[in-house]
């Protein structure tokens, strides 16, 4: 990938590479609470079936994943594990924050043990609101993320020059 890092990649090739990245996202499922069931419905049920979008939801380890879906209530006790998970993932990596609890604490906004938003620990690319969001909402989040990946300037991103884009908010 020397071409990519040096920024000398021809434009059509970038498009092609982005296209293949877009349709081969390996998504790591980090299911914590109620949203994990809706994520399971979106990722593993025949009715919603995320694989038709080119997302493979069964990586064996975060080291093989491009995308992590944090779904459910993030408590202070699980935070170190989430941070470690994110650090283990190879770049370029994306994070979908699914559900109100993960976005901002949700119904536990005044609880003593809940982390109010996973974005305090790791950068989030897509916020999917809802308590829990319907599987369709998660799928839309995936599609919007794919659009972003398609238009990404990889050279800048991979050199770390590009500032993080504004997060996508579904709905």
Residue with tokens 């408590």: 75
Q: Which of 34, 143, 144, 168 binds other proteins (CB under 8 A)?
A: 34
d(CA 138, CA 127): 9
Contact between 65 and other proteins (CB under 8 A)? no
19: which 2 tokens? 């296209």
Closest approach, Cβ 127 to other proteins, in A, equals 19
Q: For residues 120-159, which are near other proteins according to CB under 8 A?
A: 131-132, 134
DSSP string, 15-83: HHHHHHHHTTEEEEEEE-SHHHHHHHHHHH-TTT-GGGGTEE---SSGGG-SEEEEES--BTTTHHHHH
Q: Which of 4, 40, 64, 167 binds other proteins (CB under 8 A)?
A: 40
DSSP string, 74-86: -BTTTHHHHHHHH
Contact between 116 and other proteins (CB under 8 A)? no
Contact between 78 and other proteins (CB under 8 A)? yes
50 and 142 Cβ atoms separated by less than 8 Å = yes
Candidates 4-12, 108-116, 117-125, 146-154; binding stretch for other proteins (CB under 8 A): 108-116
Q: Which of 31, 64, 167, 168 binds other proteins (CB under 8 A)?
A: 31
Binding positions for other proteins, rule: CB under 8 A:
30-34, 36-38, 40-41, 44-47, 72-73, 75, 77-78, 80-81, 84-85, 107-108, 110-114, 131-132, 134
């Amino acid at each position: 990938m020397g071409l990519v890092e040096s920024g000398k990649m021809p434009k059509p090739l970038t498009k092609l590479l982005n296209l293949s990245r877009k349709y081969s996202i390996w998504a790591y499922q980090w299911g914590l609470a109620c949203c994990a069931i809706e994520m399971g419905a979106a990722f593993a049920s025949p009715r919603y079936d995320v694989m038709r979008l080119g997302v493979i939801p069964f990586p064996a380890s975060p080291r093989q994943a491009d995308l992590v879906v944090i779904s459910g209530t993030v408590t202070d006790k699980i935070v170190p594990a989430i941070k470690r998970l994110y650090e283990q993932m190879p770049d370029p990596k994306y994070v979908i924050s699914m559900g109100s609890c993960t976005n901002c604490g949700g119904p536990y906004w005044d609880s003593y043990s809940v982390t109010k938003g996973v974005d305090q620990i790791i950068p989030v690319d897509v916020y999917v609101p809802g308590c829990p969001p319907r599987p369709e909402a998660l799928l839309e989040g995936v599609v919007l993320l794919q659009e972003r990946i398609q238009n990404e300037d990889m050279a800048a991103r991979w050199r770390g020059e590009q500032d993080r884009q504004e997060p996508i908010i579904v709905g």
